[in-house]
Amino acid sequence: MRKDIILHLSALLILFLLEILGIFSEYHQGNFARILVLAAYGVGYNILFGYTGLLSLGHALFFSAGLYASGLSIYHLDYNIEQSLFLGICISALISLIIGFLALRTIGVSFMIVTLMFSQIAYLSILYFGSITRGDEGFVIQQSSRVFLSMDLSNPKIRYYSALLIFSLCMLINLWIAKSPFGRVLVAIRENSDRALMLGYNVKLYKLFSIIISGTISGLAGACYGILFGYVGASFAAVSYSIFPLLWVLIGGAGTVLGPLIGAIFMFYLIDYASDITDAYMIIVGVALLFVTLFARRGIIGELRFRYYKWIS
C-alpha cells in the first residue's frame, strides 16, 4: 500500500525534476508536454477499458468533445481559459452520459462497434459543419487567448508544468479509484460481470459511471491539448485517435495506473522515429497492435505486476 503510493508519487517527482533540473532538451521538453496530456487521455481510456473491461473504439469522440467545446468557445465566443476549460469538461461529461446511456444497451462486440459508430458520427459532423469547425483544416487558437492567470501557456516551460499538472491530477484520480471500493467493483465487473450482478451490484449504473468518468477525463485532456498546443482539427476526432489510447494502454498495461504514461511515451517516440524514415509511419501502430495481442497481453507494467511486484496498482 505504502510502496505503491510512493512509486506513483516518485514517477511524478521524476517528471518534475527532469524539467526543473533542465535535463530536457527543448525538443524533448515539447514532446513530453504532449505526451503528458495524451497520457492523461490514456488514463481516461484506461478507466473504462482497463478497469471496467469495456473496450471502446470511439474515445476520440470524448477527446474531441473537450477539444472542440473549449476550442470553439475561445475561437468564436472569446471565452477565457477558465470558462472554456469548464465548458469542455461539462460538454464531455454530458456527451459521455448520453453515449453511455445509449451504448450500454449493447454488450461485447456490439459495444465496440456502436462506440466506433458514434465517434464516426462526430467526426463526420465536424467535417459537415465546416463553416463553424473549419473542417479538416481546423483552426489555431491565438497565443493571445492562451493566457491563464496572466501566465502565457505557449511558453514551453509553463506549458510543460501545466501538462504535468493535468496528468498528475488524472493519474491521482485513477490511483484513488483503483484503491477505492468503487474501483474494486469495476474490476469485479471486468472479471465477471454476471457474478458482480448476482452479488447485487447495479452493474449498468457502475458501467455508466465508468464511462462518464472515463469520457470526462478524456474530454479534459482534449480541452487542455487544444489550449496548450493551440490547434484544433478534425484529425483528432478520427478513428486513429480512438485507437491510440487503446494502444498506449495495451502497451503500458491495462488496468495499471502508470500503464498509459509508459505506453504513450513508448509509442510517441516510436512514431516520431518512424516518421523520419517513412511516410507510412502508421505501420508502426499496426505492428505494435499485433505484437501486444500476440505476445504481450499484459503490457509492460502489467507484466511487472504479474511477475514481481504484486502490489502495483
Partner 1 sequence: MELGPYLLFASLEGLVHAAVLSLIALGLSLVFGVMRIVNVAHGEFFMLGAIITWWVSSFVSGNPAIGFLLALLVVPIIVGMTAVLSDWLILRHLKYDPEATIIATIGILYIIQQFALMTFGPDAKPVEQPFNIRLDLYWFGFSAYKFFVIFSAIILLLAIWLVMSKTKFGLILRATQLDSETAQAFGIPISRVYNIVFGLGAAIAAVGAILIVPIQQAHYLMGGEPLLLAFIVVIIGGLGSLKGTVAAAILIGMSDGIISVFFSPNIAKILATLLVVVVLIIKPNGLFGTTKT
Partner 2 sequence: MDILNDELLYTENLSKNFQGITAVDKVNFKINKNEIRALIGPNGAGKTTFVSLLCGRIRASKGKVFFNGSDISNLPVYKRISSGIGYTFQITAIFSNLTVYENVALSIKNRRDKEKRSIIFEVLNKVGLLDRVSQRSGDLSYGHQRLLELAMGMAQRPKLLILDEPTQGLSDLEIENFKKLIKDFSKTMTVLLIEHNMDVVMSIADKITVLHFGKIISEGDKHSIQSDPLVQKAYLGDQC
Q: Which is nearer to partner 1, 205 or 287 (CB)?
A: 287
Confirm or reject binding of residue 77 to partner 2 (CB under 8 A): no
DSSP the chain: -HHHHHHHHHHHHHHHHHHHTT-S-HHHHHHHHHHHHHHHHHHHHHIIIIIT----S-THHHHHHHHHHHHHHHHHH---HHHHHHHHHHHHHHHHHHHHHHHTTS-HHHHHHHHHHHHHHHHHHHHHTHHHH-TTT-EEPPGGG-EETTEETTSHHHHHHHHHHHHHHHHHHHHHHHHSHHHHHHHHHHH-HHHHHHTT--HHHHHHHHHHHHHHHHHHHHHHHHHHH-EE-GGGGSTHHHHHHHHHHHHH-TT-SSHHHHHHHHHHHHHHHHHHH-S-TTHHHHHHHHHHHHH-TTHHHHHHHHHT-TT--
Contact with partner 1 (CB under 8 A) among 285, 296, 304, 306? 285
Q: x-or-dash pattern for partner 1, window 214-253, by CB under 8 A?
A: -------------------------x---x--x---x---
Q: Which is nearer to partner 2, 26 or 194 (CB)?
A: 194
CB of 92 to partner 1, least distance (A): 19
Contact with partner 1 (CB under 8 A) among 9, 11, 55, 271? 55
Q: Which is nearer to partner 1, 121 or 198 (CB)?
A: 121
132 makes contact, choosing from partner 1, partner 2, none, with CB < 5 to 8 Å by partner type, with none
Region 159-198 residues binding partner 2, contact defined as CB under 8 A: 184-185, 187-188, 191-192, 194-198
Q: Which is nearer to partner 2, 105 or 184 (CB)?
A: 184
Binding site for partner 2 (CB under 8 A): 184-185, 187-188, 191-192, 194-203
Binding site for partner 1 (CB under 8 A): 53, 55, 57, 102, 105-110, 112-114, 116-118, 120-121, 124-125, 127-128, 239, 243, 246, 250, 278-283, 285-290, 292-294, 297
